[in-house]
Amino acid sequence: MCGICGFLCPPGHLAGEAMAELILAMADRLHHRGPDAGGSFVRPDLGVALGHRRLSILDLTPTGGQPMTSVCGRYVLVLNGEIYNFRELRAELEREEAVFRGSSDTEVVLAAFTRWGIEASIPRLEGMFAFAVLDLRDHLLVLARDRLGEKPLAYGRVGTSLAYASELVAMQVLPGWSGRLDRGALGLYCQYNYLPEPLAIYEGLHKLPAGTWLALPTDRPFPLPEPRAYWSAKDLAARASREPSATSAAEADERLLGLLRTAVRRQMISDVPLGAFLSSGIDSPLVVALMQEQSSRPVKTFTIGLDDPERNEAPRARRIAEHLRTEHHEEYLTADTLPAMLPELPGLFDEPFADPSQLPTLLVARFARRHVTVALSGDAGDELFGGYLHYQHILTRWATLRLVRNLPDLFRTPLLTLLSVAMLLERSVDLISGLPKLGSLSSLRRLGERGDNLRRLLLDPSLDCYYQRQLVHPGGSGLSAAPSSADPLFDAPSRWLPSGIDELLRLCHLDLLHYLPGDILTKVDRTAMSVSLETRIPLLDPAVVDFALRLPSRLKLGAGVGKLPLRRLLGRYLPPELLSQRKQGFGIPLGAWLRGPLRSWADDLLAPSSLHQQTFLDPVSVTRLWHEHRSGQESWEWPLFAALVFLEWAGKNRVS
């Protein structure tokens, strides 16, 4: 796990000494991602610079340092992440008489490029990674990212240069950095509380989409070419019906258990202390059980508790740890610890990011880092195996909406007319919203909003459109002062998903392409790397993903319960009483905290004088939401947290 960065500038545009200073300054911005060592490679005649910060995990000797040059001298590589099948690849390369100087996975990647070429090698890499490799013979810079986006990589134009980095903050030191905000991207952030790929918060910059690579001639990187896919969830979805990974529950369980055991074994390879996050649910206990099964000593496990009994999962996680005989550690997130944490968030995330579960995730990462350098997690089980409760609710409601939409015009037209009146009512309320507050005004507006929403739902042409509306947090669409950009995924879903796949699989794929990389993986990467902790996700092993996405929905979901194979496998390791309870999750009582211990923080940021000094958020909408929330009329914690986090982030990053 590391941080990478670099740039291409016109040859002769900068002196070698200036290029060397700039690349070191970029790498210094990523010191938290790699505190153990740093390095750079500069070729002024090509206008190329590569930088690296190292967090030593495998091959702790200097031979594992980066940038690393291939034995043949043709390739120079900076790599962030881990290649889990590097031992198998190395054995194959050694049979072809490849020569190695050390034992790192980075050297194996370079040997693969030398033997098989870059394009042929990338699909053979199994792991979490983002890399930049310079081909000195063909004068190409190639960027690539792992299949599902575990490791970040952004790129784009900064002044006259092409820049790339693990985090956007590294680019801010380059000449020509403008810090100009992409207001359309901000609109999407306000809707989702995260920014979906490939959009970035700054104009001219992009996230490299997961599962793609990009080849740039060093002498003419502009105009930027389109990234090329080497892996596609669409292809897996198309195969699901004709090539299912299992046809019975028994077959599914045995095949999945073998794949997970292999994934966990490969991801436990480390030359530094290793542990795991542990919740009270299904996924992380199963990962920990498989780790403990293969370990000769108790696995170190880490849990965060809350001082809210309805949300506190620490007691049950502790019982799971006791049963599995791990070396368990727990810590509590309380309202008293929050005020000190909140101002730190803009420094952890290179873009505004407002999933409130980042707070307990940050705390568990800090807590774990005191004991280990690598932690495995149970993320992605819900997206792969249909575990989210909202999948069932959405599919039920969608079936009902289809029935209403298919009603004869005699019945459907009056219904739509009534909903149009409700929409008009909402508009009328907005017109008089400047008058003194009336007791029923908020209720009238809510009635209108709900009527408008229902009318829109009835007119949604597809499940994709309907699901997108469910992802948008109520109140979020009106936060931004400018219209939002089109969402790249939902604007053209046929580009990413084939037609004809079953509806549960479709929802899982949408989350796999949108919510997982945009929210979950971003949250885990930034919080953990802020304390130099490497996180690994066995459920995202390519073989597990391939199996899950081709598993028929009837084997994932039944009787209102999802993740059936994972539940059955965990039942082999835990007694029934530890399986029957519902997981509380990493949710926090944000709404209550905004009215209580966080109110002074929110009041300062949302003061009318402050809101009217900025031009990014709509002051009227934000003020209304804050008034209704703190008075208890409504619960607007999601859009308010999006606004608060953005204002903190914008102040720290001096955006324009």
Pairing of strands 75-83, 68-69: antiparallel
Of the candidates 527, 551, 576, which is a domain's last residue?
576
Shared domain check, 153 and 87: yes
**Identity of the amino acid at 332:** Y
For residue range 350-368, list pLDDT tens digits in order.
Answer: 999 999 999 999 999 999 9
Question: Which pLDDT does position 280 carry in this prediction?
Answer: 93
- Average pLDDT (428-434) is 45
Question: Which pLDDT does position 504 carry in this prediction?
Answer: 92
Question: Which pLDDT does position 493 carry in this prediction?
Answer: 82
Shared domain check, 557 and 622: no
- Average pLDDT (463-473) is 89
| 439 confidence band (pLDDT: 50, 70, 90) | very low
Judged against a pLDDT cut of 70, whether residue 182 lies above it is answered with yes
Cis peptide before 223 (omega within 30 of 0): yes
- Average pLDDT (401-419) is 69
Shared domain check, 57 and 186: yes
Shared domain check, 624 and 556: no
Question: Is position 73 within any domain?
Answer: yes
Q: Which are the contacts of 61, defined by CB distance < 8 A and separation ≥ 6?
A: 102
| 125 confidence band (pLDDT: 50, 70, 90) | very high
Spatial distance between the Cα atoms of 384 and 407, rounded to a whole number of angstroms: 35
- Average pLDDT (466-485) is 91
Spatial distance between the Cα atoms of 162 and 7, rounded to a whole number of angstroms: 5
Shared domain check, 360 and 280: yes
> Residue 595 is part of which domain span?
590-653
- Residue 439: CA count within 13 A, CB half-sphere: 0
| 438 confidence band (pLDDT: 50, 70, 90) | very low
Spatial distance between the Cα atoms of 567 and 428, rounded to a whole number of angstroms: 51
Question: Is position 490 within any domain?
Answer: no
Question: Is position 67 within any domain?
Answer: yes
Question: Is position 484 within any domain?
Answer: no
Question: Is position 147 within any domain?
Answer: yes
Q: What is the dihedral of CA 367, 373, 376, 380, to 10 degrees?
A: 80
Residue of 38, 23, 5 lying closest to 167 (CA atoms): 5
Lowest mean per-residue pLDDT among 109-113, 184-188, 430-434: 430-434
Spatial distance between the Cα atoms of 391 and 394, rounded to a whole number of angstroms: 5
Shared domain check, 152 and 57: yes
pTM assigned to the model: 0.92
Three-class secondary structure of residue 416 per DSSP: helix
- Would you state the structure tokens that stand for residue 234, as one six-digit string? 């669409």
Shared domain check, 350 and 434: no
Three-class secondary structure of residue 145 per DSSP: strand
For residue range 498-548, list pLDDT tens digits in order.
Answer: 788 889 999 999 999 999 999 999 999 999 999 999 999 999 999 999 999
Spatial distance between the Cα atoms of 65 and 72, rounded to a whole number of angstroms: 17
**Identity of the amino acid at 492:** A
| 113 confidence band (pLDDT: 50, 70, 90) | very high
Spatial distance between the Cα atoms of 428 and 419, rounded to a whole number of angstroms: 14
- Average pLDDT (257-272) is 96
Question: Which pLDDT does position 343 carry in this prediction?
Answer: 84
Question: Which pLDDT does position 88 carry in this prediction?
Answer: 97
Question: Is position 150 within any domain?
Answer: yes
Of the candidates 576, 599, 633, which is a domain's last residue?
576
Shared domain check, 398 and 382: no
| 40 confidence band (pLDDT: 50, 70, 90) | very high
- Answer left, alpha or beta for residue 486, where phi above 0 means left and psi between -120 and 50 means alpha: beta
Instruction: Domain count for the chain, please give it.
Output: 4
Question: Which pLDDT does position 431 carry in this prediction?
Answer: 41
Question: Is position 486 within any domain?
Answer: no
Q: How many CB atoms are closer than 10 A to CB 476?
A: 26
Shared domain check, 295 and 249: yes
- Would you state the structure tokens that stand for residue 474, as one six-digit string? 């109520």
Burial of 474 (0-12, 13-18, 19+ CB in 10 A): middle
Question: Which pLDDT does position 421 carry in this prediction?
Answer: 58
Residue of 102, 140, 142, 108 lying closest to 127 (CA atoms): 108
Question: Is position 39 within any domain?
Answer: yes
For residue range 51-108, list pLDDT tens digits in order.
Answer: 999 998 877 778 788 999 999 999 999 999 999 999 999 999 999 999 999 889 999 9
- Average pLDDT (476-499) is 88
**Identity of the amino acid at 520:** I
Burial of 436 (0-12, 13-18, 19+ CB in 10 A): exposed
Shared domain check, 316 and 397: no
The CA-based angle 550-555-556, given to 5 degrees, is 80
| 238 confidence band (pLDDT: 50, 70, 90) | confident
Spatial distance between the Cα atoms of 122 and 231, rounded to a whole number of angstroms: 10
Question: Which pLDDT does position 458 carry in this prediction?
Answer: 59
Cis peptide before 538 (omega within 30 of 0): no
The domain that holds 153 is classified in CATH as: 3.60.20.10
Spatial distance between the Cα atoms of 489 and 464, rounded to a whole number of angstroms: 9
Shared domain check, 559 and 604: no
Question: Which pLDDT does position 469 carry in this prediction?
Answer: 86
More confident call, 637 vs 399: 637
Shared domain check, 625 and 532: no
Spatial distance between the Cα atoms of 450 and 494, rounded to a whole number of angstroms: 29
